[in-house]
Structures are given as structure tokens and as C-alpha cells.
Amino acid sequence: MGKSRGKARDDLMADEHHVTVTIMGRNYTLRSEDDAQYVRMIAAYVDDKLQEIAQVSPRMSTTRLAILAAINIADELHKADQTTLSDGEGEMEGAVERILKKIESSK
């Protein structure tokens, strides 16, 4: 029983690989199932956000920089989700209007 669980874990880990990224001048080794280039792109995005905040507030602690960057990134994600939802609602409303017009014209 323990062997099969270990094998499943080994199979999952086989899909993972290690990617070293640099954020705020420090190297981090991340384990990911995603493509290494994608992981580096995401890390570069996070680094850019941290650097932007650090330029405005150079004496801010790394922890505070990380929190503000996380809030900014979460805000961007939330706004992007809201925009996508709004676009989808508009498309759905348009489709409903077209269907209603077809129903009206078939009476």
C-alpha cells in the first residue's frame, strides 16, 4: 500500500522540474510543472512590480514591497477578470437580443 502511494508521488514529481529565477537580486529555485520559460516570464513580471515600488519607496522593507506588489498584482487580476466577465455579459446580452428578435419575427 505504501509503495503505490510512493509511486504516485514519484509520477507526479516526474512532471516537475526546477527553474532558477532572480527576483530583487536574489536567486530562487522553483519547482514547477510549467514550462521553464513561462516560469521565468512570471518571475520577471513579479520582479518588475517589486522594482517599480522600490523605485518610489527605496527604503521600504522587502516584506512590505512584496505585500504591495502582491496587492497590485491581485488588483490587476481582479480587474482583468471583471473586464472579461463584462465582455462576456455583453456578448450574451447581444445573443439573447438576437434570439428574441428572431422569435418576434417568427410570430
Question: Long-range contact list for 48-52, CB < 8 A, 24+ apart?
Answer: 49/73, 50/23, 50/24, 51/24
pLDDT tens over the chain, length 107 residues: 444 455 555 554 557 899 999 999 999 999 999 999 999 999 999 999 999 999 999 999 999 999 999 999 999 998 887 776 666 666 666 676 777 666 666 65
Q: Is the pTM of this model over 0.95?
A: no
Count of the separate structural domains present in the chain: 1
Give the strand pairing for 26-32 and 17-23. Answer: antiparallel
Do residues 15 and 33 lie in contact, with contact meaning Cβ atoms separated by under 8 Å?
A: yes
CA-CA distance, 66 to 48, in Å (whole number)?
Answer: 11
Grid coordinates given for 96: 439573447
- Residue 45's domain comprises 2-106
Q: Which three cell numbers stand for residue 44?
A: 520577471
